Amino acid sequence: MSFNQKEASIQLSILDLFCSRDLFSPPGSTIDQLSLIAKDNESGENQPPLSTWKVEDVAVESILTMIFQLPKSLYNEIYYYTVLISCCRESPESIAPVFGRAIRFFYNNLETFDYELKIRFMDWMTTQISNFDFSWKWDEWVADSVKYANLTYHPKKELHSKT
């Protein structure tokens, strides 16, 4: 990924073309669809078992792993942020839900993060949403905003103040 971020995002969006056809589930598969596939795999209905790996999940997870690598990432984090932004622009219907799940996961586990990881998450989150007109389901965080309003410091309160 040390080359142009736009080219990196294109390569990630077609990653499944370089793999066995059966390695990944169809692009854009929903979690509900994958749950049904997994259930059918367990019951033996699918022979051979079908994949529940989503290429977009694997790509985004790989980049997020590089962002959150401690003590420091291989490249400046902003490079990875721009690759993720380009991926989302390249395939918004399949990548945006992956980002939503990742952001929710990180947000729900923010209290357990190392300080540096909290900063990186806040940087990625604010960079990501600022590039998409601050589009987010903000009402999901209202209860936490009220809950932590009187605290001097809490990582979720800090995130709310930055976004």
Q: What is the mean pLDDT of each run of 10 residues along the chain (163 residues)?
A: 72 82 85 93 93 91 93 90 89 87 92 91 90 84 82 76 67
Topology of the domain comprising 5-162: 1.25.40
Burial 89-101 (b: 16+ CB within 10 A, else e): eebeebbebbbee
Contacts within 8 Å (CB) and 24+ apart, 66-72: 66/1, 67/120, 67/124, 68/117, 68/120, 68/121, 70/114, 70/116, 70/117, 71/116
| CB atoms inside a 10 Å sphere around CB 28 | 14
**What residue segments make up the domains of the chain, in order of their start?**
5-162
